[in-house]
A and B are shown apart, each in its own frame.
Chain A
Amino acid sequence: MNLTNWLEHLPSSKGLLGINGRNLELIYTHNPRGFFPNVDDKLLCKRLLDEAGIPTPRTYHVVDGPGSLAVWKEKLADAPNFVIKPNRGFGGQGIVLVSRVADRFSSSEEPINDDDITFHILQICNGAFSLDNLADTAYFEVTVVNHSGLSDLIADGISGVADVRLIYQKDRPVMAMLRLPTRESGGKANLHQGGLGLGIDLDTGMTLNGCQRNRVITIHPETNRSLRGVQIPFFEEMLCYGARVSSVVGLGYIGVDFVCDRTLGPLILEVNARPGLNIQIANQAGLRTRVR
């Protein structure tokens, strides 16, 4: 027993958590395994949040069998743009943004046709992007448009969506980070692929320093603008909604991902039962010191 204590304190980790520490001290102790489906199943999660009156992006259509596959185009007749997502995907895999101009579809500036979309849905349903490659459900969701308050932080010509990751211990916010898509990340707000993470002051909702991969930065590498001191729109509302998520999904340590839509305001995109550790680099603070 003392060996582990000795190893932990050898050089001080200064309250920063590694993967071992996160799993042992936060996830295993706060998140009962039986409640994981409440967040891993994104449609179920959205339903639970809807029922609790917490806003989420609208679902246009769900494909869970041949019947629903055949009618996807009719169901989306009124949607100008949309996103196709795997229900049990992870790490942003299998998500495709589709835009429509004069009844022609395109994704990432490349034209695609109905068959491409049908094939992608089939891939999702076959489990190509789901955990353990189990059969999955695909769904169509409204495309979120970045709030104008955040546009300055994103280089021109990038279609991706910025999101705000809030980590909660029960109803208490622990740490927050704004994630920005970059050219390097291919328009995804994914830190592993080179997106930016900016720490957020929980009291004021203003951005602090940022990080790209594991490097601390203060200037946006693609726009050369300062990253500090930007006010997150609707931050108060996010904190209000976020505080209720833990009891809704039954998990005690979660990452809640908000997006700020230009017209719809704050929406919860998804909830994560195993939130990542780079938020510590963005905030230059350890999770261990913030969690009680």
Chain B
Amino acid sequence: MSVAIRRHSRLLAGLLPALLVLAASAMAFYKIAVLGYNLDPIAASESYYVETVMEFDGHGTAVEVSLALPQTLNSQIVSDEAFASGDMSFNVTTEEGNRFGHWTSSAVTGSRRLQYTATVVTRDVKYAIDSTLVTSQDIPGVVAAQLLPDSTIQSDSPDIVALANSLRLSSDSTVFFNVRTIYKYVTDSLRYVQYSGTTDALTAFRLGEASCGGKSRLMTALARQVGIPARLVGGKILSSGQSKATHVWVEMYISGYWVPFCPTNHYFAEVPSDYMILYYGEQPVISHTKDINFRFFFNLKKRLASLDQGLQKLQQNPLDILNIWSTFKRVAISLELLKIIIMLPIGVLAVVVFRNLIGVETFGTFMPALIAIGFRDTGLGYGLLLFSLIIAFGTLVRTVLSRLQLLHTPRLAIILSLVVLFILALTAIGVEIGLLDLARVALFPMVILTLTVERFSIITEESGLIKALELSVLTMLVASGAYLLMSWRLLQSVVITFPEAILLVIAIYIYVGRYSGFRLMEWFRFKQILARTTP
């Protein structure tokens, strides 16, 4: 090749990354300065994928199931709701400010599975109570009901009245004094014990111990007794994983605001951002027809905010072409898919770095990045476990098949078919034992796994099992790297808001693509000879 062309390519390779960085910065600057783009609405919020799974066995009679549904409030945003109803009819009702999903059927035989999923973004709530505020205040008519005693909050019972007196609660004192005193009493003098049933205010007081519900009811009763409107709040403390537990806390109406208190976890005039509200008042989270062997659980997953809220702002800008989110939405492509597509060029960075700078060998060039996409649904731990299981299973199958002396392509087709069956079996097992992460193995890239099995077997035959295992471990290492990059929430928000960031990775790829020095591993490969060679 002529010197002129080589110099030309060197110049181009030097200029191009600079141009790409410039173009990306210019686009980002334009979006921020002129269109008012801003990462805050997206980056600040983490969301939870909330799933409620309910199962029961029908015996030919009518069945009704109701579930309290979260709704969008000052402290939380609910989006992407979905309901799985099977053959039952379904409707949503709003009663006294609460939302319920109702599944009904006049005759159900056999087992049924109902499901509710939504994305919820929550934020913390915190109030400062003016310490000079007097307790007597104007109370609007709708709130006045929250002063009345009821069957579980017996604010007029002699025992509660006596307790209020002994605590020197008085409507003449400041709100702060009353609330503080009630809070201290309920948190300090009532022991916390886990109960499964409903403990009313009076029982909690008489026993001197209660769970979150009992503590909250007693707190509500004392507040109502002294003239502060108060109500129970039922909800769920958000944390990833499966559970059945729900939580109850209290809100008091103070100078126009409903101020939260949690006597169980010791939050005064505040609740943290992981408190998701499901209903107000005395409500069951789930109610259902008796004797149907009813089971349920919540499954929560922390995710990057659905972005819907944050992106609605961005969507309104006039230059739609710069806004991939609204473009994708028009053709009904989900945000999840968009995330995969847009993060792939970033995930591949791990592949490029491991291969060209470190010198790590893997099965196939981009296979680790594709496996990493599979990990997105199962999580890293299960993903690695499942990958190993499938490779082990496939290799076993291939060993048996090699005795049949089949031609290459039909043999691959058989391995693919059996890998599919194996994955379906794993999914079925996952659903059966309630491990949905395991069940999501169905989303693994199967053709790629099949080719990995084939490579694994060929390398085992030609270079030994050790070499094949080494390649598997390295493939998993690179896939983990790609997964961590692609699932990094902050990076996701940046790339989705500013897709021009991909130009920056391209600039990096050009740099790496022009790097003609040693890969890290080659320093070890040539170690002995480097010491002996004179340049």
Contacts and interface: CB of A to CB of B under 8 A. Distances in A.
Nearest to A119: B405
Given A29-B6, A128-B408, A216 B515 contact: no
A1 B408 CA distance: 46
A281 interface: yes
Interface string A92-131: 0100000000000000000000000001001100111000
Interface string A1-40: 1011001111111111011110011000110000000000
A1 B13 contact: yes
A15 B409 CA distance: 44
Nearest to B6: A29
Interface stretch (A221-229, A235-243, A282-290): A282-290
Given A14-B535, A216-B528, A123 B517 contact: no
Nearest to A214: B525
A88 B136 CA distance: 92
Interface in B311-355: none
A16 B14 CA distance: 24
Nearest to B518: A18
Contacts of B405: 119
Contact of A126 (B1, B408, B522, B523): B408
A289 B409 contact: no
Nearest to B454: A133
Given A8-B515, A20-B519, A216 B532 contact: yes
A284 B533 contact: yes
A20 B535 contact: no
A23 to B, nearest CB: 8
B356 interface: yes
Given A3-B511, A126-B407, A192-B463, A18 B522 contact: yes
Contacts of B434: none
B515 A286 contact: no
A20 B514 CA distance: 8
Nearest to B525: A214
A215 interface: yes
B526 A16 contact: yes
B265 interface: no
A197 B530 CA distance: 17
A81 interface: no
Given A14-B534, A14-B535, A8 B525 contact: no
A8 B517 contact: yes
Contacts, number: 97
B516 A20 contact: yes
B466 interface: no
A20 B357 CA distance: 9
B478 to A, nearest CB: 17
Nearest to B529: A281
Interface residues of B, number: 33
A171 B407 CA distance: 42
Interface centre among A3, A19, A21, A93, by most chain B C-beta atoms within 10 angstroms, is: A19
Contacts of B514: 1, 4, 24
B517 A4 contact: yes
B432 interface: no
Interface string B399-431: 000000101110000000000000000000000
A16 B529 contact: yes
A19 B517 CA distance: 8
B359 interface: yes
Given A126-B409, A127-B408, A215-B528, A19 B522 contact: yes
Contacts of B10: 1
B531 to A, nearest CB: 9
Contact of A280 (B6, B515, B529): B529
A159 interface: no
A10 B359 CA distance: 17
B96 interface: no
B532 A284 contact: yes
B518 A13 contact: yes
B172 interface: no
Contacts of A216: 528-529, 532
B224 to A, nearest CB: 70
Contacts of A214: 525-528
A263 to B, nearest CB: 32
Interface string B1-14: 10000100010011
A14 B6 CA distance: 23
B291 interface: no
B95 interface: no
A281 B527 CA distance: 10
A208 to B, nearest CB: 12
Contact of A281 (B409, B523, B526): B526
A29 B527 CA distance: 27
A20 B530 contact: no
A201 to B, nearest CB: 16
B462 interface: yes
A29 B407 contact: no
Contacts of B519: 18-20
A267 B526 CA distance: 31
A11 B517 CA distance: 10
A64 B409 CA distance: 18
Interface in B261-312: none
Contacts of B533: 14-16, 284-286
Contacts of A19: 359, 519, 522
8 contacts: A8-B517, A15-B533, A18-B526, A19-B522, A24-B514, A123-B407, A133-B408, A133-B409
Given A21-B518, A214-B525, 20 more contacts: A3-B511, A8-B517, A10-B517, A13-B518, A14-B534, A16-B530, A16-B533, A18-B517, A18-B526, A20-B515, A20-B517, A20-B519, A122-B407, A128-B407, A192-B463, A214-B527, A216-B529, A216-B532, A285-B533, A286-B533
Q: Which 5 A-B pairs have the closest CB atoms?
A: A8-B517, A1-B14, A21-B516, A18-B518, A128-B408
